[in-house]
Amino acid sequence: MLEGKTAVVTGSTSGIGLGIALSLARRGANIVLNGFGDIETAKAEFAGLAGVRCGYHGADMSKPAEIEDLMRYAEADFGGVDILVNNAGIQYVADVQDFPVEKWDAILAINLSSAFHTTRLAIPGMKARNWGRVINVASAHGLVASAQKSAYVAAKHGLVGFTKAVALETATTGVTVNAICPGWVLTPLVQRQVEARAEREGVSIEEAKRRLLGEKQPSLQFVTPEQLGELAVFLCSDAASNVRGVAWNMDGAWVAQ
Ligand code: NAD
């Protein structure tokens, strides 16, 4: 279904980004991975997929010049970007009066501004080919708030707004722009919050997971990177060509409450 297309997935060395990259690759898309950590292990996941090229660029998504270099790499080595998944993101938890200024700046840069930079650089090629998919990984926190997450909630609400604006700008073209809004997914980003909660409340990791889910996610189950990957595949399909400017929650009914 996606043979011959190239997907740039930011922050795809673990968690949701890796799950989405794998789902797209299983449909034949070439993949440009990005992110930090164990790159060889991430790349190895793609080795068995026939006909799929997997590249990597280590751009720090808080740095516009490095983002430009990532997009130039995709253009030069893969012939352009057909699918852009803006997924890189970080979290920090504190009351606003205690929120470190550098953490605010980093969250806004990585979770929001990076999507502006990749998108502004990808859209001209997508428009020229009259086909493109931009998928912004927002969050349930792009739709509703939680205490102590002011920077994250601001960035994710911003990302949803950005999605709508660019969807309008591309509405008469073959380029669609949408956001995905996951609830809790058990990735390293959330594992750290589970561990902090277990420590703070003096309970086991399993009990901390139950409390985390019980507080927000009525399904009482984590959403998985694989499920989010399949949602991204649908958004890339022809059937989704009129899905534009949505913020699609996959959150075990979190925002239904
Ligand atoms: P994760 O920590 O497993 O993965 C984050 C990825 O981003 C990693 O590949 C990491 O190397 C990369 N990254 C971090 N800083 C970067 C930087 N400066 N430059 C380039 N890459 C960078 O986290 P995850 O849970 O998979 O999160 C992925 C996205 O999903 C984030 O945008 C997050 O906000 C969002 N999200 C996560 C959840 C959840 O429950 N896990 C829920 C809703 C939304």
This model's pTM is above 0.90? yes
Q: How far is it, in rounded angstroms, from Cα 257 to Cα 254?
A: 6
Q: Is the CB of 60 under 6 A from ligand 1?
A: yes
The rounded Å distance from CA 87 to ligand 1 centre is: 6
Please, are residues 194 and 213 in contact by the beta-carbon 8 Å criterion? Answer: no
Exposure of 244 by Cβ count < 10 A (0-12 exposed, 13-18 middle, 19+ buried)? middle
Neighbouring residues of 107: CB distance < 8 A, sequence distance ≥ 6:
90, 91, 92, 151, 152, 155
| pLDDT computed for residue 184 by the predictor | 98
Selecting among 56, 73, 92, 152, the annotated active-site residue is 152
The rounded Å distance from CA 64 to ligand 1 centre is: 18
Please, are residues 142 and 185 in contact by the beta-carbon 8 Å criterion? Answer: no
ipTM rounded to 2 decimals:
0.99
What does the domain layout of the chain look like in residue ranges?
A: 6-183+223-249, 185-222
Dihedral, CA of residue 246, residue 250, residue 253 and residue 255, to nearest 10? -40
Q: How far is it, in rounded angstroms, from Cα 27 to Cα 133?
A: 15
Residues in the chain: 257
The per-residue pLDDT for range 29-85, each reduced to its tens digit, is: 999 999 999 999 999 999 999 999 999 999 999 999 999 999 999 999 999 999 999
| pLDDT computed for residue 89 by the predictor | 98
Neighbouring residues of 9: CB distance < 8 A, sequence distance ≥ 6:
17, 20, 21, 24, 31, 32, 33, 34, 85, 87
Question: Which atom of ligand 1 lies nearest, measured to the CA of 109?
Answer: 18
Number of CB atoms found within 10 A of residue 108's CB: 17
| The architecture CATH gives domain 6-183+223-249 | 3-Layer(aba) Sandwich (3.40)
Q: How far is it, in rounded angstroms, from Cα 183 to Cα 209?
A: 13
Q: Is the CB of 254 under 6 A from ligand 1?
A: no
The per-residue pLDDT for range 114-150, each reduced to its tens digit, is: 999 999 999 999 999 999 999 999 999 999 999 999 9
Question: Which atom of ligand 1 lies nearest, measured to the CA of 188?
Answer: 3
Question: Which atom of ligand 1 lies nearest, measured to the CA of 156?
Answer: 34
- Residue 67, SS3? helix
List % helix, strand, coil for the chain (3-state, nearest 5): 50, 15, 35
Q: How far is it, in rounded angstroms, from Cα 177 to Cα 197?
A: 35
Q: Is the CB of 182 under 6 A from ligand 1?
A: yes
Q: Which segments of 217-257 does DSSP mark as H helices, in order?
A: 225-236
Q: Is the CB of 228 under 6 A from ligand 1?
A: no
